[in-house]
Amino acid sequence: MTRSIQRYAVIVDPYSSGNQFAKEFARVGVRLVAVLSCAEPPGVYAASYRPQDFFKVYVAPAADLEALAAELRDYSPICVLTGCESGVELAERLAPMLLPQAANAPGLALARRDKGLMAAAVSAAGVPMMKQICTNEFASVQRWRVDNGLTHRHLVVKPPKSASTDGVSKVSPDESLQVAFTRLLDKPNRLGIINDRVLVQEYLAGTEYVVDTFSYAGVHTLCSVCKYSKLANANGMAIYDQMEWVSHDDPIIQTLAAYAERVLDALGIAWGNSHIEIMQTTDGPRLIELGARPHGGGHPALCVIATGDSQVHRSVRYFAQSVTPPKRFTLLKHMTVVFFRALAPCIARNLEKLHALGALGSYVDASIQVKEGQAVPATQDLFATLALGFVVLANDDPQQLARDVEAVRQAEAEVFQQDMQGVA
Q: Say if residue 165's pLDDT is above 90.
A: no
Cβ neighbours of residue 413 under 8 Å, at least 6 residues apart?
none
CB 200 within 8 A of CB 176: no
Give the single-character DSSP code of 404: H
Region 283-296: mean pLDDT is 96
Q: Check whether 376 has a pLDDT greater than 50.
A: yes
Q: Which long-range contacts (CB under 8 A, 24 or more apart) does 88-91 make?
A: 88/112, 88/113, 88/291, 88/292, 88/293, 89/37, 89/113, 90/12, 90/13, 90/35, 90/37, 90/60, 91/12, 91/13, 91/292, 91/293
* Residue from 225, 215, 264, 212 nearest 81 by CA: 215
Percent of all residues in the chain with a pLDDT value above 70, rounded to a whole number: 95
**pLDDT-wise least confident of 172-176, 326-330, 405-409:** 172-176
| Amino acid identity for residue 360 in this structure | L
pLDDT tens-digit map of 179-229: 889 989 888 877 778 888 898 989 888 999 999 999 999 999 999 999 999
What domains are defined for the chain?
7-110 (3.40.50.720), 131-202 (3.30.1490.20), 339-424 (3.90.1170)
Average pLDDT over residues 10-27: 97
> How large is the average pLDDT for residues 75-82?
98
Query: Coil, helix or strand for 250?
Result: coil
Radius of gyration of the chain (CA): 22
- Mean pLDDT computed over 395-423: 86
Identify the bridge partners of residue 170 per DSSP, sorted by sequence position. 156
Q: Quick one: DSSP state of residue 213?
A: E
Q: How far apart are CA 237 and CA 402, in angstroms?
A: 24
d(CA 107, CA 416): 48
d(CA 28, CA 33): 15
d(CA 136, CA 353): 47
* pTM listed for this prediction: 0.88
For 225-247, what is each residue's pLDDT tens digit?
A: 999 998 866 555 568 899 999 99
Percentage with pLDDT > 90 across the chain: 77
Helix (H, G, I), strand (E, B) or coil at 110: helix
What's the mean pLDDT in 261-273? 98
